[in-house]
Amino acid sequence: MAIGNIRDNVLLRVYIVTGIVIFVAIIIFFKAFVLVTKEGDRWRKEADKRYIQNREVPGERGNILAEDGSLLATSIPFFEVRMDFGADGLSKEEFVKSLDSLAWSLTTYLTPEKTTIDEWRNYLWAHFNAKSRYELIKKDVTFEELSILKTFPVFRGGRSNGFIAVRTNRREHPFKMLALRTLGYTKDDLKIGLEGRFDKELSGGKENVPMIRVGNDVWIPLQDLTDIEPRNGNDLVTTLDVNIQDITQTALIRSCDAYQAEHGTAIVMEVKTGKIKAISNVSRTKDGWWEDYNYAVGIKVEPGSTFKLASMLALLEENAVRLSDTVDIEGGRHQYSDVVLEDHERAKKNLMTVKEAFSASSNVGVSKLVYNYFNDKRQKFIKHLQEFNLTIPTGIELEGETPPNIKNADDATWSGITLPWMSVGYELEITPLQLLTFYNAVANDGVMMKPYLVSEIRRFNETQKLFKPTIINKSIASKDALSQAKELLESVVELPGGTAYHLRTPQYRFAGKTGTAQLNYSKDKGKKHTGGYLGSFVGYFPAENPVYSCIIAISKPKTGHYGGTVAAPVFREIADKLVSSNIALSDPINQKGKPVPSPALLPDDVGYKGDLLKMLQNVELKHEIVASKNEDWTVLRAKSDTLNVMTRNVGNLKQVPSVVGMGLKDALYLLENRGLRVSFSGYGKVVAQSLNPGSVAYPGNIISIRLD
């Protein structure tokens, strides 16, 4: 090939390459021009989004209060202190100059027992050289500790020197476990209890704060977060009474522990209003008793005999029975279809009145009464349960209330034993709260109140919203039927043979029903199987003018299982303490006039004459002094409506005196004056002494006395 041709080919290729380069350069220049002039703002904003963003900082969550203002749940501010060693305002000269002082301050005031000065110095110096942007100094710093930290070298320069304090609020419960599950919590998308139901009201406002990204999803605020104050949330005032809650929980745990139960629940409701005054749910854990689930509203179970009130009220509403009618309980066994229904305990007689059958909790008696009347009109029985509001939830302001499970007469699972089994609390499911709401309506003369837990929403002690008592059924039954139903409930406690007769008290009257339900009951090859028992008691007090209703349900006790044994005593303990501490629950002692003295009511004290006479004069008891004027020790003996003050012979100083009947103070005085050494047990009056009266009192001898 000629040299000229070669040169032309080379030049052509050069021109082509040069043209391509120039063309690409023109495109790049054009693109750059467009980016700068037309799209610059958009891309600059996009870059800012990637490295600087406005991020939300939430305000402080509102408090949850008891009815008297006691804190049940509150937010305590804590801070996470970090350091930006790459901050523009932090010079190497200043850092080196302050390093030793800062390390000393952190060791002395922050970690005196965990870290040495050298360890802090090395830690700080290593991260300064690495220009760490978000290095942890300490978690869970209190406000008081933060105030001290801000005075340390370097840190006192604030955000410009790299000091970062991120505020977090921790939810605290001053009363620990009291109503813990009912108060609830929020975590991510999980919202439990009152915290979840009123999350919007309790949550504070959110403040947008500019932050810069320094790593993978690590954002540093561009200003001091401790100076930012988003709007705080509202406070929630509940109907809970701290004292009643404490009494209820203590009694419930004591019984669950004594009978080795799996879990238990207790609710106390104010009859006239529906206010929940206490709600306790306890479960056995490896660390002891704790509230980890709200059994009161979240678990429906076969209630057993406590449901018999609904069955009897349906019969009474139909005028199908009177309390004086009789029913043959057939020895506590009756067959329906191919299944035998049995009483838990066999009665001593077969023929019982309706009242006796109910008070003794006879499954056979109640089921026969219901079956004989309603078997041909089963839907009418279900209609009464609907009128009692037993087929729908209560609507309490808690998420997760489980609806009742009560069959209709046309249900595909209805069988020949369904009606009698339903009548005694089986083949249906209901929560403890739903059952208590029904009993509360009976106590309230048929007016059914909606149970509720929140009475008010406040902001800075000013009411934002008020929640008032709500009637959900003006009358669940006729006055006559309700009056007889109350009489049935009172008979359980007052009638000999009643399942709670052993718990009656002369101090006040209460009414209710025991329940003993078999859980997960089955029958295989003629053998019965049960997954445990549910012992329960539902009632109200005082019986004449009910103020509180209460339900106790104890699941799977290992020792003992009857409701009258494991649950009713819890009710009685709660009632005892509320009656004794609330004058509104007791009649004034002078309401019925001064009682007429009788020998059975008059005291029979033994003691120092001067003290006894002073007591008799103060209480204005009629008395007559029979004792010799020279005798110091006397005994009171009733004669008709008068107390005789008689001589008590205590012997001379060398004899052991009789101190039986005396209080501890008088007994000690007499015995120790004779040189005897006294050991005692019990409290009350002396009922026994180890040395016989009249024997020689040898100084230094030990005498034991027992008080009761």
Q: Are 164 and 134 in contact (CB under 8 A)?
A: yes
Q: Is residue 598 part of a domain?
A: no
Residue that the structure tokens 């870290």 belong to: 115
- Asked if residue 366 lies in contact with residue 358, where contact means CB atoms within 8 angstroms, the answer is yes
The whole-number pLDDT of residue 494 equals: 95
Specify whether the CB–CB gap between 419 and 371 falls below 8 A: yes
471 domain-assigned = yes
Looking at the domain assignment, is residue 46 inside a domain? Answer: no
Tokens of 562: 């009857």
User: What pLDDT is stored for residue 47 in this prediction?
Assistant: 47
Q: Are residues 384 and 491 in the same domain?
A: yes
Count of beta carbons in the 10 Å neighbourhood of residue 689:
21
Question: Rounded to an integer, what distance in angstroms lies between the CA atom of residue 708 and that of residue 704?
Answer: 14
| Residues 6+ positions from 287 with CB-CB distance below 8 Å | none
Mean pLDDT of successive 10-residue stretches along the chain, which has 708 residues: 63 72 74 60 51 62 92 87 85 90 90 86 91 85 88 88 82 88 84 89 70 58 58 90 95 94 96 97 91 92 96 97 94 91 82 95 96 95 96 92 93 93 96 98 98 94 93 97 97 94 92 91 55 92 96 93 92 94 69 60 78 81 77 80 81 90 90 91 86 91 89
Burial class (CB in 10 A: 0-12, 13-18, 19+), 299: middle
Q: In this structure, is residue 437 part of a structural domain?
A: yes
What pLDDT is stored for residue 609 in this prediction?
79
What CATH number corresponds to the domain at position 103? Answer: 3.90.1310.10
- 44 in a domain, yes or no? no
DSSP per-residue letters across 454-490: EEEEEETTEEEEE----EEES-SS-HHHHHHHHHHHH
Pair (291, 221) in one structural domain:
no
Torsions phi, psi for 434 (to 5 deg) = -65, -40
d(CA 688, CA 661): 9
Task: Name the amino acid, one letter, at 583.
Answer: I
**Structural domain containing residue 8:** 3-38
d(CA 96, CA 513): 79
Question: Are 626 and 600 in contact, with CB atoms under 8 Å apart?
Answer: no
Label residue 680 exposed, middle or buried (CB < 10 Å: 0-12, 13-18, 19+): middle
- Domain identity same for 630 and 667: yes
Q: Count CB-CB contacts under 10 A for residue 454.
A: 22
Residue 183 sits at φ, ψ, to 5 deg, of -65, -45
State whether 164 and 281 are in the same domain. no
Q: What is the CATH number of the domain that holds 634?
A: 3.30.10.20
What CA–CA distance (Å, rounded) separates 146 from 150?
A: 6
Q: Which of 396, 455, 404, 393 is nearest to 197 (CA)?
A: 396
Number of domains in the chain: 4
**Residue 561: which CATH number?**
3.40.710.10
* Confidence (pLDDT) at 204: 72
Among 416, 398, 430, 427, smallest CA distance to 299 is for: 430
What pLDDT, on the 0 to 100 scale, is given for residue 216?
A: 55
pLDDT in tens, 136-192: 888 888 888 888 988 999 998 887 888 888 777 788 888 888 888 899 888 877 888
pLDDT tens for each residue of 176-233: 888 888 998 888 778 889 999 998 998 876 655 666 555 555 565 655 555 556 678 8
From CA 542, how far away is CA 508, in angstroms rounded? 6
Residues 453 and 377 in one domain: yes
**pTM across the whole model:** 0.72
The C-alpha atoms of residue 450 and residue 441 are separated, in whole angstroms, by: 10
Q: In terms of Cα–Cα distance, which of 649, 510, 630 is closest to 574?
A: 510
